[in-house]
Structure 1
Amino acid sequence: MHTGWLLVLDVVGVLLVVVLLLCVALLVRRRIISRTGGTFEVSHRSPSAHAGRGWTLGVGRFTGESLEWFRIFSLSPQPSRVWNRNEIAYEGRRAPEGPEVPALYADHVVVVCATPEGEVELAMSDSSLMGFQSWLESGPPGTNWDSKPLR
């Protein structure tokens, strides 16, 4: 009878250690991602998702000419998505609707962008949106401001 409880306690202890190690790994990964530049919370919606669904929480990072997007709950040091500045254009913003409200952070707005692959929806705070728009507008010298991304 005692050995049964000891086995259960051993299993619970091992599971707690594994969960703790995963949490530490996620924190270290976030630290590594933000080391090369400021990060901000930004969610991404997969284009094939049903209306209002398919949002994934993530972290964005500007690296020169691209916006890199990393999933929050991933151990990969590589970005899940990358958008180049000259291939993404801001089209508008809207408030989260219906099932989007509990899926997104409370202060986030949905940002609609055009890319060569089609429409992209991101969700970010107003201050992050201001930084995103500034990044889009601060292209290198010789940028053609009248051109739209290829469709």
Structure 2
Amino acid sequence: MLRFIFIAVVLVICYFTYISPLVNSMNNFIKDDKLQEHLGYFEAIKDIHIRSYEKAIAHIKIFMINYADTFHKKSDVLEKMKNHKYKIMKYLQELIYRIPNDNNLQHQLEYSRDYICNLFDNYIMEASDNLNEYYFPN
């Protein structure tokens, strides 16, 4: 009986230490209405180049998981976040380059890309503050 109580306590500690921050970061990603709105513009044209859209979404999810790791004071997380932000912008830019000649759509997508870039810069700045490192967005 004592063994089961010990295992239950260890599982609860593991949940609150490792799993809960991951769930919270993914909930922040899902609940951010402005981010979802701007990603919706890219989702509307994902048929143009579905690979770029899927890669961008995959890197956004990995970015948010790495953001959750900053609360555990891991040192290499900031570089990973910068790398994933770069890849997200690269894939979103690929989508913009592949749209047909539509100036209004291109302007809206560029605005959305810039908003997403600024949002991820804010996440990286917050993570760098958590890790007591300096980050200057470019």
TM-score (norm 1): 0.33
TM-score (norm 2): 0.36
Q: Between Structure 1 and Structure 2, which shows a larger proportion of helix residues?
A: 2
Structure ranking higher on relative contact order (CA contacts 8 Å, 6+ apart): 2
Greater gyration radius = 1
Q: Between Structure 1 and Structure 2, which shows a larger proportion of strand residues?
A: 1
